[in-house]
Amino acid sequence: NAGVTQTPKFQVLKTGQSMTLQCAQDMNHNSMYWYRQDPGMGLRLIYYSASEGTTDKGEVPNGYNVSRLNKREFSLRLESAAPSQTSVYFCASSEDRKLNTGELFFGEGSRLTVL
């Protein structure tokens, strides 16, 4: 049982390059999320998807796009990477809040460095 799987785990980009972070979950969860984690800032929500076919902006969406490809997969794209996007990115998933204990399941993270 893999849970939430993110790829790649590490990536180095040059300013202006583009890339896509991939995320897949095998728990049949409706909701999926992308967070970024920076020192002293905690985890901040970039985008989320409450169900297949829907996406919404979180706290820090600028410079990012997302795609909810199907119920399992939720990708995060950086169209033109900037050094300010150097961070550790986490994908997470959850069941509908009313149905469960309120737990987010996180992947192991993707560490991105933009030079």
| 26 near another protein (CB under 8 A) | no
Q: Answer whether 8's CB lies under 8 Å from 20's CB.
A: no
**Nearest approach, Cβ of 32 to another protein (angstroms)?**
10
Among 12, 27, 41, 115, binds another protein (CB under 8 A): 41
Cα separation, 107 vs 113, whole angstroms: 18
**Which of these ranges, 13-21, 40-48, 68-76, 77-85, lies near another protein under the rule CB under 8 A?**
40-48
Residue 107 tokens, joined? 């992947």
**Six-digit token string for 91:** 């994908």
CB 113 within 8 A of CB 13: yes
Binding residues for another protein (CB under 8 A): 4, 31, 33, 40-45, 48, 50, 56, 58, 90, 92, 94, 97, 101-104, 106-109
